[in-house]
Amino acid sequence: MTETISRPREEVFEYLADIANHAEFTDHYLVDWRLTREDTYGTGAGARFRMKAPLSRFSWADKTFAEVQAPYRIVERGRGGKYNRIRMLGTYTLSPGASGTTRVEYTFETVPVMPSDRLLEALGGSAWTRRKTRKAMRRLRAILEEGRDRGRRATIAGR
């Protein structure tokens, strides 16, 4: 997914490098955020959340920032599904655009282990994730450009 945001690359990067902000633009499909440590910024910052996927019995997942290279790349690794056996990898790549804009490209991939996991992904799981991710990218743009469409930011101990 790619979105062009009318903000400087450094500003977009600072927002994305704080995992607590991710709840704001993904709360339409990722809910019940729990931070995994007090420091929510940079390498090692992580969160656990529930995916509101249809027909999903094992909806909890987590992600942690594995690489944070200012101001152009954030790599997140995680796991989800039954027994956390499905590995996930997400990458935000930020590149400068024309006249102070930022091009944000987000790639997401999963590695299902069991045949049943692959079947669920083939029956619509990956299409559902793509739709929700596209909406999240539009919400990210709206938040950074206009300050609207904000969800609740993840906090420590519900504060």
Structure confidence by residue, pLDDT tens digits, 12-31? 999 999 999 999 999 999 99
Q: Where are the domains of the chain?
A: 2-158
- pLDDT at position 158, please? 54
Maximum distance among all Cα pairs of the chain, rounded to whole angstroms:
48
- pLDDT at position 57, please? 75
What is the dihedral sign for C-alpha 15, 133, 28, 50?
negative
pTM, rounded to two decimals: 0.88
Of the candidates 51, 67, 62, 61, which has an alpha carbon nearest to the alpha carbon of residue 17?
Answer: 67
Per-residue pLDDT of the chain (159 residues; tens, 9 = 90+): 899 999 999 999 999 999 999 999 999 999 999 999 999 999 999 999 998 877 777 889 999 999 999 999 999 999 988 888 889 999 999 999 888 899 999 999 887 778 877 777 776 667 878 899 999 999 999 999 987 767 677 767 655
- pLDDT at position 123, please? 66
Phi, psi of 138 (to 5 degrees): -65, -40
- pLDDT at position 149, please? 65
Query: 140: part of which helix (H) or strand (E)?
Result: helix 126-146
- pLDDT at position 81, please? 83
Domain 2-158, CATH homologous superfamily name and number:
START domain (3.30.530.20)
